[in-house]
Amino acid sequence: MPEEPLRLYVNRRLMLPDRSPIPLLYPFFGIPAKAAAPYTSNAHRLHGFSPRYFRMVEDARMTDFVVVPQEYRTLAANYPETLQQIYDEARAARKPLLIDDTGDVHGPPTPPDSVVLRVDDYRFAPHERGIVIPLAVEDFVETYCEGKFVPREKAGELSVGFVGWAKLTLQQHTRNFVKEIPLRLRALSDSRYHAMEKGVIWRRRALAALERTTGIRTNVLVRETFGGRTDTLPGDPKKIRQEFVDNLRESDYSLCVRGDANISYRFYETLSMGRIPLFLDTECVLPLEDKIDYRSFCVFVDWRDVDSIGERLKAFHASLSEGQFKAMQEKAREAFVQYLRLDSFSPYLAEYLMHKASEHSGHPGV
The mean pLDDT of 81-87, rounded to a whole number, is 97
Please state whether the predicted TM-score (pTM) of the whole model is above 0.75: yes
Residue 266 contacts residue 298 (beta carbons within 8 Å): no
The mean pLDDT of 130-149, rounded to a whole number, is 97
CATH number of 140-340: 3.40.50.2000
Which of the two residues, 315 and 224, has the higher pLDDT score?
315
Best CA proximity match to 333, nearest among 301, 298, 291, 299: 298
* pLDDT of the residue at 295: 98
Residue 362's alpha-carbon distances to 10, 91, 110, 163, in angstroms, are 21, 12, 21, 51
The mean pLDDT of 39-46, rounded to a whole number, is 94
Task: Locate the DSSP E strands across the chain.
Answer: 6-9, 54-57, 65-67, 97-100, 114-118, 130-132, 158-165, 216-223, 253-256, 276-281, 299-302
Lowest mean pLDDT among 20-24, 49-53, 68-72, 361-365: 361-365
> What are the pLDDT digits (tens) for 165-180?
888 888 888 888 888 8
First to last CA, the chain: 28
State yes or no: pLDDT of 274 exceeds 80.
Answer: yes
The mean pLDDT of 293-304, rounded to a whole number, is 98
The mean pLDDT of 142-166, rounded to a whole number, is 94
* pLDDT of the residue at 302: 98
**Euclidean distance between CA atoms 26 and 73, whole angstroms:** 19
Q: What percent of the chain has pLDDT over 90?
A: 81
State yes or no: pLDDT of 284 exceeds 60.
Answer: yes
* pLDDT of the residue at 173: 81
* pLDDT of the residue at 364: 45
Domain ranges within the chain, ordered by starting residue: 6-138+342-360, 140-340
